Structure 1
Amino acid sequence: MSVAEDLETPLVLRSDADGIACLTLNRPKAYNALSLGLMAALQAELDAIASDRAVKVVILEGTGKGFCAGHDLREMRARTDAAFHEQVFAACSKLMMSITELPQPVIAKVHGIATAAGCQIVATADLAVAADDTRFGTPGVNIGLFCSTPMVAVSRAIPRKQVMEMLLTGEMIDADTALRHGLINRAVPEAELDAAVSEMAGKIASKSPLVLKTGKAAFYRQLEMPLAEAYAYTSKVMVENMQARDAAEGIDAFIEKRSPKWTGE
C-alpha cells in the first residue's frame, strides 16, 4: 500500500465498550505493516487512552488476513537516508515503550501472521491470545536485516535458546509453539478468538482501575531490579496500595461476601 493510499482511510480504528478500548490496525492490503503514518496514529490513540479513566483494558488487533507483518519495507526502501530510518525505529521504540508504560493492560488479539515488529508488538503486549493457525516469526535475517529491535521484546518474553533459533534461522513458529515458549497466553480456534479475548478483557475490566495501573507499573519496574531491591520496592507499593479506597472497599466486600464497588481511588 502506498503512502497516498494510507491517507485515504483511517490507519487505526477505535471502538469502546464497557471499559474496553479496541484499537485495530487498518492497512489490510499491507498486512498492517507499520508505516510511519500507522505508528503515529496508534501512538496518538495510546496517548489519549493513557489519561482516559473510562478505559480499563486495551485490545490491539489487525484487519485483513494478518495481525501485523512488521515494518513497511516499501516505505523503508523508498527513503534510503539514515535520518529517515532513525525516525522509523525511534517511532517504533517509543510505541513499544508506550504499550509497556500504558496504565491499562494491553491484550494482543492475533491472527494470520505476526512477524518482525508485528511479533514485537505481541511480545510487548501484557497478554496475547492468538488463533491457533497464527504464525509468528522474526524473519529479518532472510532479507539481510536482522530483527534487532523486535529482539528486545521477544527475548524478554521467551527463553534465550528459542528466541535465538527464531532470529538466526528466520523460520516461523506456529501458535502451539508460541504458547509453549510463552510468547502468547492462549491459542484458540479462530472462530473462538473474539469470544476468548472478550472474556479475558471483561474479567480484567471488572477489577479496580487503580489496582490495575499500580500492579502493571510495579510488575515491569521490579523485573529489572535485584531480588532484595525488588522486595523493598514492592513492599512500598503494597503499603501505598493498602491506603487506597479501592483496597479498603475490596477487602470489606470480600469479608462481607458482596461485590466491590470500585471508585478508582
Structure 2
Amino acid sequence: MQDLSPPAAPLILTETPAPGVARLTLNRPEARNALSRAVIRDLHGAIERLGADPTVAAIILAARGKVFSSGHDLKEMTAHRVDNDGGEAFFRETMTACSAMMQAIVACPKPVIAAVEGRATAAGCQLVATCDLAVAAETADFATPGVNIGLFCSTPMVALSRNVPRKRAMEMLLLGEALSSTDALSFGLVNRVVPPDQVMDEALGMARIIAAKSKATVAIGKAAFYRQAELTLDEAYAYASEVMVKNMMTADAGEGICAFIEKRHPEWKDH
C-alpha cells in the first residue's frame, strides 16, 4: 500500500536571509525544541556544511516557538531506561554526540550568532553559551536547572563556565533558577537584549556587519580566540604573535592595510 502520510518536517530549517548570511532554525516547537539525537545529528551536519560553504560568512541560530531549546530530550532518554544496560550506552552516546556538536560550533570558521526569542534551559542554555555571539529578547530567560531534578548540568557547565564569571556560573548551576535576559546580559551570557520583535533584525544586523569583513581574517581570528583562551599567558602571547605574522602574510591583510592608507573600501579576496 502506498504511504500517503505527509513527509516529516525537517528538524533544522536552513535559509539565507541576506547575502553571506545563513540561518538555521530549530524546528521542534511541539517538543520545546528539545535536543533529541536526531536534532543533534542534523544541527551538527548543518554547522559543518555551512562552515565549508564559501558563500557563507556568518550563521544565525534561531528556533521556532516559545522555547529556544529546553535541552536534552528527557522523554527520549527515559525511554531507554528499559534497555538491558538501563540506558547507559544511549546516555553516553547522546552526551558524546552533543559535545561533538557543541565543539563543531566553536570549530566552525564562520561566527555563529544565537537569536534567542524564548526560554533556553540546560543544554539549550549550553547552546547559547557555545555560540560566538547571542542576542536575546527582553522576555527570554536562561537556566541550568538540572540540579532540581537530580541531574547536574555538567556538560552545560563547560560552555557556561567559559562565558560567565565562575561565581555566576556556580549560582546558575547550584540554584537552578531562571535568569532574566537583563541578568544574562550583565553576566556576559548574551551580547544584546532587545524587544522580542527585534531579535532577528538585531542578529541579522550583526551578521551583515561580519559578512562585510574578510572571511579569511574572521576565520583566523575566531580560531585564535578560542585557542589562546586555553593557554597560559606566555603561551597565549607566543601563539597570538605567530598568528599575527601569518595573518599579515595573507592577501586580505595587504589589501586591507593599503585600503586604509589610501582611504578607500577594501576589496577582499578571502585569502
TM-score bracket, normalised by the shorter chain, equals: over 0.9
- Provide the secondary structure at the position in 2 that maps to 1:193: helix
* Paired position in structure 2 for 1:27: 28
1:190 corresponds to 2:196: yes
Query: CA shift at 1:111, angstroms?
Result: 1.4
Q: How does 1:151-162 map to 2 (within 5 A)?
A: 151-162=157-168
* Paired position in structure 1 for 2:110: 104
* Paired position in structure 2 for 1:239: 245
- Provide the secondary structure at the position in 2 that maps to 1:233: helix
Q: Indicate the RMSD between aligned Cα atoms, in angstroms.
A: 1.1
Q: Which runs of 4+ in 1 moved over 6 A?
A: none
- Provide the secondary structure at the position in 1 that maps to 2:218: helix
Q: How does 1:22-101 map to 2 (within 5 A)?
A: 22-80=23-81, 81-101=87-107
In structure 2, distance between residues paired with 1:31 and 1:108: 16
Residue in structure 1 matching 2:216, options 207, 210, 213? 210
* Paired position in structure 2 for 1:258: 264
* Paired position in structure 1 for 2:84: none
In structure 1, distance between residues paired with 2:114 and 2:51: 17
* Paired position in structure 1 for 2:141: 135
* Paired position in structure 2 for 1:115: 121
1:13 corresponds to 2:19: no
In structure 2, distance between residues paired with 1:228 and 1:145: 38
Q: How does 1:171-190 map to 2 (within 5 A)?
A: 171-190=177-196
Amino acid at match of 1:238: M
Number of residue pairs aligned between Structure 1 and Structure 2: 260
- What are the ranges of 5 or more consecutive residues in structure 1 without an aligned counterpart? none
In structure 1, distance between residues paired with 2:187 and 2:226: 20
Deviations 1:81-134 (A, max 9, x none): 100001110110001100000000110000110000000011111000000110
TM-score (norm 1): 0.96
- Provide the secondary structure at the position in 1 that maps to 2:67: coil
- What are the ranges of 5 or more consecutive residues in structure 2 without an aligned counterpart? 82-86
Deviations 1:191-246 (A, max 9, x none): 11121111111111100000000000000000111111111111111111111110
Amino acid at match of 2:140: T
- Provide the secondary structure at the position in 2 that maps to 1:171: coil
In structure 1, distance between residues paired with 2:36 and 2:244: 41
Amino acid at match of 2:14: R
In structure 1, distance between residues paired with 2:199 and 2:190: 13
**Higher mean displacement: 43-52 or 174-183:** 43-52
Query: CA shift at 1:50, angstroms?
Result: 2.0
- Provide the secondary structure at the position in 2 that maps to 1:14: strand
* Paired position in structure 2 for 1:224: 230
**Higher mean displacement: 129-138 or 160-169:** 160-169
- Provide the secondary structure at the position in 1 that maps to 2:269: coil
